[in-house]
Copies of this chain bind each other. A is one copy, B any other.
């Protein structure tokens, strides 16, 4: 029987890995067998870093970023203006924008994008909290930095309409497309990302 020969420790690890969102059989197997190619000391170090991450990670109750503090380091910093909110799909998008060290406002993580084919509608996104923050902090501008692809555009358009209707004086802008259509904010080179923020389009 296959089960007699296939080690249970491998079987169990593959099962747990496949619970990670977007991880199928192939990606789980790729992680596991390549992990096992590392020398023992490097595997130990990797696991230690994941254990530390698992214990210390928090989700910011203000903006939804993953961080080691709640509120996160950005929301806590008095130098960051709460009157500018940059809306992103995922935490890694915010950290990609942070890397260019130009933006001085705060973020708001939607936790995804509108994708009817996958059954993801506006109610599944962190939008109510965004409206609450805009009101509470007398926000001047919301910069929408969802990904430059079909779902990201649909999500941006939905938010632009919603925000313009609710807050007539709010400036709502969208980062410009310096990026190739179909690509990801997280992967953009720093120059394109910087230009796309500088040249953002606003909706009067």
Give the residue name and chain of the B residue nearest to A25 (CB): B187
* Chain A residues within 8 Å of B, Cβ to Cβ: 1-2, 4-10, 12-13, 15-17, 19-23, 26, 29-38, 40, 42-47, 49-54, 56-57, 66-69, 73-74, 77, 90-92, 95, 98-99, 101, 186-187
* Known A20-B35, A22-B34, A90-B33: A6·B95 in contact at CB below 8 Å: yes
* Known A5-B73, A101-B2: A54·B50 in contact at CB below 8 Å: no
B22 touches A46 (CB 8 A): no
Which residues from B are CB-within-8-Å of A73?
4-5, 7
Interface of A is mostly: helix
A and B contact pairs by CB, cutoff 8 A, 29 listed: A2-B98, A2-B101, A4-B77, A5-B73, A6-B95, A6-B98, A6-B99, A7-B56, A7-B67, A7-B73, A9-B53, A9-B68, A12-B49, A12-B52, A16-B45, A16-B46, A17-B46, A20-B31, A20-B34, A20-B35, A20-B37, A21-B37, A22-B34, A29-B92, A33-B91, A36-B53, A40-B54, A43-B54, A47-B47
Give the residue of B5, B9, B56 whose beta carbon is less than 8 angstroms from that of A52.
Answer: B9
Give the residue name and chain of the B residue nearest to A95 (CB): B6
